[in-house]
Amino acid sequence: MYKKRLGGGKAVTRPRGARNRAYEEQRLALAGRLRERLGNAQGAQPSLGELAKAAGVSVATLRHYFGDRDGIVSAVLALHAAQGAEHLEVLRRPSGDFATSVRDAADYITLGLAQPAVAELHVLGLAEGLGHPRTGPAYLAEILEPVLQAVEERFQSHIAAGDMRPVDPRAAALSLVAPLLLARLHQGWLGGCSLRPLDTDPALAQHVEAFVRAYRG
């Protein structure tokens, strides 16, 4: 317990942990508002002052809750990573035989990347994280690696069942996921749909077919 003194001088007791809960709630609320601004940077990285303006608070308040700009980016990534737990659970579980399971996983990832909120997190993580010692690992830990690890677990189940070759499941997960992410970035965020359009449905089917042929047990 700790005491807080009111205007009249009377001290009131607040339960231990109440301040911490209020702090975390405010921090999460700010991260939610900042995510929208960071996700709509349109190629430019907003300054700490611009982020404070977007959140409706002072720079000092942002420093109080996040430390610095890198702390803001990491908090935004962590906030939305926590909201994706149920989707990761879907990716972990095999669905049918190996070919069906690979197709289902690829379809699910592609569907997720088609959601602007999901795609924006990858764009944010890459824009802020490439070559950066803090935000790069934060993007990997909070956004990309959980997807890869969920697919790895799916593949481990298939390897144990004998319908997938006994390969490194991590390398296999990268082989499946990386082209899906790159295709989405190419067509959507890099302007590939205008420069060189890709018929995504046949491309996805071809990718899945080649993957199954290479890794089937």
Q: What is the pLDDT of residues 153-207, one digit of tens each?
A: 999 999 999 999 999 999 999 999 999 999 999 999 999 999 999 999 999 999 9
What confidence score (pLDDT) does residue 119 get?
92
Q: For 13-68, give the CATH class.
A: mainly alpha
Look up the pTM and report it. 0.86
Averaged pLDDT for residues 84-99: 96
> Residue 10: left if φ>0, alpha if ψ -120 to 50, beta else—which one?
beta
What confidence score (pLDDT) does residue 13 get?
54
What confidence score (pLDDT) does residue 20 get?
86
Q: Whose structure tokens read 């420069």?
A: 195
Show me where the domains of the chain are located: 13-68, 84-215
pLDDT tens for 126-154 read 999 999 999 999 999 999 999 999 999 99
What confidence score (pLDDT) does residue 123 get?
93
pLDDT tens for 19-52 read 688 999 999 999 989 988 887 766 678 999 999 9
Tokens of 209: 């077919």
Among 79, 82, 67, 138, smallest CA distance to 51 is for 67
How many C-beta atoms surround the C-beta of residue 76 within 10 A? 28
Q: For residues 140 and 100, what is the distance between their CA atoms, to the nearest angstrom?
A: 28
What burial letters (b/e) apply to 101-116, b meaning 16+ CB within 10 Å?
A: bbbbbbebbbebbeee
CB of 79 closer than 8 Å to CB of 89: no
What confidence score (pLDDT) does residue 44 get?
76
Cα separations in angstroms, 202 against 33, 56, 101, 103, 166: 38, 46, 18, 13, 28
